[in-house]
A and B are shown apart, each in its own frame.
Chain A
Amino acid sequence: MASMTTWRRSLEAVALPVGAVLVAFVIFGIFCALAGANPLAVYGSIYKAAFGSWSAWQNTLIRAAPLMLTALCTALPARLGLVIIGNEGALVMGGLAAVLTGLALGPSLPGGLALVAMALASLVAGGLWIMLAGALRHYRGVNETISSLLLNYIAIALMNQLVQGPLRDPAFVSKPSSYEIVETAWLGTLPATRIHWGLIYGLVASALAYILIQRTTFGFAARTAGGNVRAARIAGLPVGKLTLAVCFLAGSCAGLAGMVEVAAVQKRLNESIVSSYGYAGILVAFVARHNPLATVLVSVMLGGILAAGGILQRSHNLPDATVLVFQGIVFLCVLYSDSLYGRLPIFQERSERPGSAVAAS
């Protein structure tokens, strides 16, 4: 009986998000048809550009790596009951810290050590940035969603100010950018691929986050406080310290994504680091229901959709905002599916026929 119930529960937890994504595909198909494109051909193109070949898989995984990291920036605080959307700002601060460290060190350190220093700087910078939002929440009662959002814009302004001013490389004319970091501090690729080491960072961070939240006392305390703050206080849990620590870890993940983007992709700092990874990370976290292992899968899926953005424009004459529309539809459908938990009779324990349940298990 008990195993039957958990079996139905797990099926529900998998079937509802998958069903929501399928419904989103149907709505998106109708949308494409209205825009004059053949929905089936669009699905085919997305699949081919995302997962159709080893080359497509590599493009997808390159995009999935920063998403895994930025998603943790929303997923970890969500376990504490906080809605943090400062992913973009933490990513920018991480990238900024990495570039500053890389430029300051120059070629003085061997490559490996320079990368470690840059990664540490980005972890601390991104972590402190989101920890600020957590501290404001805990000590001043400032809504963390809005404060972390404002911090995004402040981080971008700070980066623009530095890139236009003291850090600007006058030799690089196409857009205001910082000086290039030395080649020894570039983040390399995995053997025999175009995929950079950021993917490993993302996988390791997700695994560590899962262990921390699900398998440690710290994670248990955080989940308890997220479930009921008052009960957690009565139980003597240090809610303030938990808030600060979780927010720091969350921000440091997004900061590391900034370092990966700088050291592996851009090589210098400019406005193109403000890509869609921050806001897409929020989407990943919500679709994965804030489970750090599920975020890995959802990141790969969304990375594929992002990788398909170009081909939608080239072969179906759809604007590049199509990908954004699709993301919005998926997000809305998944949120709606949350309200269906416990409401669909298929997933409920059938108390009127206990005999068949026992027989089946």
Chain B
Amino acid sequence: MATELLGWWGVPLGIVAGTLRGSVPFLLVSLGECLTEKSGKINLGLEGTLLMGAMSAYAISYLSSGLVGPALAPWLGVLAAGAAGMMLGAIHGWLSQQPRVNDVAVGIAMIIFGSGLANFLGKPFIQPQAPQLPTLSLGGWSDLPQVQSALLISPLFLLGVAIVPLMSWFFKSTRWGLYVRAVGDSPDAAKAMGISIFGVRMASIVAGSFLAGIGGASLSLFYPGVWTERISSGQGLMAVALVIFARWQPWQCLWASLLFGGAQSLGPAFQSVGIDSYYYLFNAAPYILTLVIMIITCSPKRTLAGAPGGLGQDS
């Protein structure tokens, strides 16, 4: 239908629609990871957090819709997703700060544990339909239903966009933002200032995991809007690479998330106009893009501009 009316215009429209939908989890997870990495720890486990968030949001939205009505239920789901994220974040934050424990290895363990737990607890929720989050329509000016449906925006996207300037201001102008940056850039100096490294990192990881959990909620309650065991497909891990690409700047996380969301919609958009011979390779576009970006931006000679000084060093 859409392609018959719009012809080749379906491709850019599909990419815009896919960007607006697909960038939401990237944006929230990358902001969470940005906060975590600013404090000097890497959390690869956000992939598991994303799945756990998606499952909790869907399950709570489904279970509570009878009690509080289908309007409020998805918002309870979002809160539950954030809480589930914080729980996993607390495990990661505590374990990755033990002596001689590698935060990358803990991240992989948390991916296995988080996705296992999500699939275990989420088994009964694969079939039923949970109430979804409302959407805001920005396409009212157009008569074409395709344009209208393409410009439906999730409130979680707006939430993510609102967090971007807040987080930027937090890092630049607040005392706590300075603490986080000090712990991440120079743990010794932070210790001399009397800041608790453990406490600041713990808080950053838990808060970052909260955002990643909400990113999971956007997967199951907005787009694609279902709960399946393979819903995250590596997006949580790609968000980690995205933060490197964004040079640990919240504003650049926003642009990078839009770029990744767009790259992800290439495959379906080309398929909609009949080009499906390279469907799977187009689907791999975000991964190839991440790799190419890392090859271009990294260098063995110098540390990356903007990288927290203490990142990846064992405590």
Contact = CB atoms under 8 A, between A and B. Distances in A.
Nearest to B229: A321
Contacts of A150: 238, 241, 287-288, 290-291
B120 A324 contact: yes
A141 B99 contact: no
B100 interface: yes
B113 A331 contact: yes
A351 B146 CA distance: 79
Interface string A182-209: 0000000000000000000000000000
A338 B98 CA distance: 9
A328 B294 contact: no
B98 A336 contact: yes
A146 B240 contact: yes
Nearest to B118: A321
Interface residues of A, number: 47
B156 to A, nearest CB: 25
A202 to B, nearest CB: 22
Contacts of A283: 109, 112
Given A150-B241, A341-B100, A328 B109 contact: yes
A326 B117 CA distance: 9
A154 B288 contact: yes
Contact of B119 (A147, A279, A324, A338): A324
Contacts of A325: 113, 116-117, 120
A335 B112 contact: no
Contacts of A138: 300
Contacts of B271: none
B284 interface: yes
Nearest to A280: B112
B300 A140 contact: yes
B105 A146 contact: no
Interface in A139-155: 139-143, 145-147, 149-151, 153-154
A335 B101 contact: yes
Contacts of A319: 119-120, 123
Nearest to B278: A161
A161 to B, nearest CB: 4
B248 to A, nearest CB: 14
Interface string B92-103: 000100111110
A322 B298 CA distance: 39
B71 interface: no
A341 B237 CA distance: 30
Nearest to A133: B291
Given A321-B119, A321-B120, A145 B104 contact: yes
B39 interface: no
Interface in B112-144: 112-120, 123
Contact of B114 (A139, A328, A339, A341): A328
A142 B120 CA distance: 35
Contacts of B115: 321, 324
A85 interface: yes
Contacts of A282: 108
B246 to A, nearest CB: 14
B299 interface: yes
A327 B112 contact: yes
A326 B119 CA distance: 12
8 contacts: A139-B300, A143-B298, A146-B294, A157-B280, A321-B118, A328-B110, A332-B106, A335-B101
Contacts, number: 140
A160 B113 CA distance: 27
A209 to B, nearest CB: 20
B301 to A, nearest CB: 8
Interface string B226-240: 000100001001101
B290 A332 contact: no
Contacts of B98: 336, 338-339
B295 interface: yes
Interface string B267-300: 0000000000111110110011011001100111
A307 B115 CA distance: 20
7 residue pairs, one from A and one from B, having the closest CB atoms: A328-B113, A324-B116, A321-B119, A157-B284, A141-B300, A339-B98, A331-B109
Contact of B287 (A141, A153, A323, A341): A153
A280 B300 CA distance: 31
Given A83-B105, A140-B294, A321-B123, 10 more contacts: A143-B298, A150-B291, A153-B287, A157-B280, A161-B279, A325-B120, A328-B116, A331-B109, A335-B106, A338-B101
B91 interface: yes
B112 A322 contact: no
B44 interface: yes
B135 to A, nearest CB: 29
B284 A147 contact: no
A328 B49 CA distance: 13
B295 A154 contact: no
Contact of B44 (A145, A151, A157): A145
A328 B291 contact: no
A151 to B, nearest CB: 7
B213 to A, nearest CB: 17
Centre residue among A143, A161, A328 by max chain B CB count within 10 A: A328
Contacts of B234: 149, 153
B93 to A, nearest CB: 13
Interface in A75-95: 83, 85
A161 B279 CA distance: 7
Nearest to B115: A324
A149 B290 CA distance: 11
A322 B281 CA distance: 33
Contacts of B284: 153-154, 157-158
A329 interface: yes
Centre residue among A322, A327, A335, A339 by max chain B CB count within 10 A: A335
Contacts of A157: 280-281, 283-284, 287
Given A153-B234, A157-B284, A339 B291 contact: no
